[in-house]
A and B are shown apart, each in its own frame.
Chain A
Amino acid sequence: MPTYKAELPSGLPGLSLKNGTNVLLVEAVDATDAATLVQGHAVAQDDALWANATISELTVGTDFSPVYNPDTGVTNEWVFTVTVAGADTNASWSHTAVAGEDLDDVMAAMVILIDAHADIAASDWSTPLLTVAEIADDIGDHTMTCTVTYGGVDIAGQTGAIVHEGIAGAVLTQTYSTLVPTIAHMSAS
């Protein structure tokens, strides 16, 4: 069931908001139901203002574009980092997602970065698995760390199963979540 935001039009003259509320979040089958549900919520307050509320669906993001936060004036970025550490190879690669990049775009860029390393011949991305090193690269016994950060904070759920620290002749791999965590709404309670 999708989530909808009902928001009163701004700048209404003489507006008197109960408890200062001008946004309602509702779960409803569709936007029409959301509008009527909001009306039902408002009727008991004898508040006809909500009949003019704007209904918009809150949706999960589709890419890792940087997000401007008007509260802080900072644009927050998604940064994907892979680090390999061990006896033979020590390297770290990072890619900061640019506007419009989805996970496939990000990983395509990451594969190019990784393949440029002398010790790695053919890294690969096949959704949702990033192969950092093949068997022939002979660094399967190395320690790998993969992170996805947003605004500099690690979002742990974006990375899944990791294969590393095995025998030298093994792969290094990491799975990623294909979904995009999204700040859908900010307000005061």
Chain B
Amino acid sequence: MPAYEVKITDPTGATLKNGHDVMTVFAEDGPDAIACATGQNDGDGSWAAATATLIGVGTDLSPVTDAQGKTRSYALNVLIAGPDTTAAFKYTAIAADSYADVFDAMVILLNAHADIAGAAFAANLLTVSDIGDDIGDHTLTVSFEFGGSAIPSFLSTVTHEGIAGAVLSVATNATVEIPKVLGSYRQR
């Protein structure tokens, strides 16, 4: 059952009970969500005229600007550390970047490094270096962050610290659903 943000259209001049002018409602559809919000407030006409907005997951990794004008971005970080190669790569997602766009951009960054030729992304697997790059014994650290905070479930198994002639890789989240901050509120 989807969730809707039901918000009074224009609370100016309205006497809000407990200051509340927004509800999150699970309902069949928008009209049902508004009806539930209205029922919650004894049939209050202000709520009958409210706007219902479907709360959905993100569809891309565009930077997010909040109501205060602060912009936060999704970014992919790759760090390789070892005796032969130590390098850090970061790609910050731009507007409309998909999940695959971010990893494809990272592949370009990786392959631009002198020690790496075989970076690739396919089937939920980012190959940071292949066998021919000969740095499979290095330590690989990968993070996918939002606003500088790593989101754990974006990435899973890391393959690294093996023999030199092995790949460095990280498995990515099989689902492409994108975490999203939906709204910020004042709870009384």
**Interface residues in chain A, defined as those with a beta carbon under 8 Å from any beta carbon in chain B:** 1, 3, 7, 17-30, 32-34, 36-45, 58, 60-61, 67, 69-72, 74, 76, 149-158, 177, 179-189
Q: Which of B33, B148, B152, B180 contacts A43 (CB 8 A)?
A: B148
| Interface size bracket, B side | 35 or more
- Inter-chain contacts of B25 with A (CB < 8 A): 181-184
A and B contact pairs by CB, cutoff 8 A, 25 listed: A22-B185, A25-B55, A25-B185, A26-B179, A27-B56, A27-B182, A32-B152, A37-B180, A38-B181, A40-B146, A43-B147, A44-B72, A44-B148, A58-B24, A58-B26, A60-B26, A153-B38, A155-B39, A156-B35, A157-B28, A181-B28, A183-B36, A187-B20, A188-B188, A189-B21
- Inter-chain contacts of B151 with A (CB < 8 A): 28, 33, 36-37, 40
- Inter-chain contacts of A27 with B (CB < 8 A): 55-58, 177, 179-180, 182
The answer on a CB contact under 8 Å between B72 and A40 is yes
The answer on a CB contact under 8 Å between B27 and A157 is yes
The interface residues of chain B, by DSSP majority, are classed as mixed
The answer on a CB contact under 8 Å between B1 and A37 is no
- Inter-chain contacts of B179 with A (CB < 8 A): 1, 26-29, 33-34, 37
The 10 closest A-B pairs by CB, nearest first: A151-B39, A157-B28, A40-B147, A40-B149, A187-B185, A153-B39, A40-B146, A185-B24, A150-B39, A71-B17
- Inter-chain contacts of B186 with A (CB < 8 A): 17, 20-23, 187-189
Known contacts A29-B179, A187-B187; is-contact A152 B1 (Cβ 8 Å) = no
Q: Which of A26, A61, A69, A155 contacts B35 (CB 8 A)?
A: A155
Q: Which of B7, B35, B148 contacts A153 (CB 8 A)?
A: B35
Given contacts A24-B185, A60-B1, 13 further A-B contacts (CB under 8 A): A17-B186, A29-B177, A36-B146, A37-B179, A38-B181, A39-B149, A41-B147, A44-B147, A44-B148, A150-B35, A157-B29, A186-B23, A189-B7
The answer on a CB contact under 8 Å between A188 and B42 is no
Interface residues of B in 59-101 (CB under 8 A from A): 66-68, 70-72
**Interface residues in chain B, defined as those with a beta carbon under 8 Å from any beta carbon in chain A:** 1, 3, 7, 16-29, 31-33, 35-43, 48, 55-58, 66-68, 70-72, 145-153, 173, 175, 177, 179-188
The answer on a CB contact under 8 Å between A157 and B31 is yes
The answer on a CB contact under 8 Å between A25 and B182 is yes
A37 to B25, CA, bound (A): 22
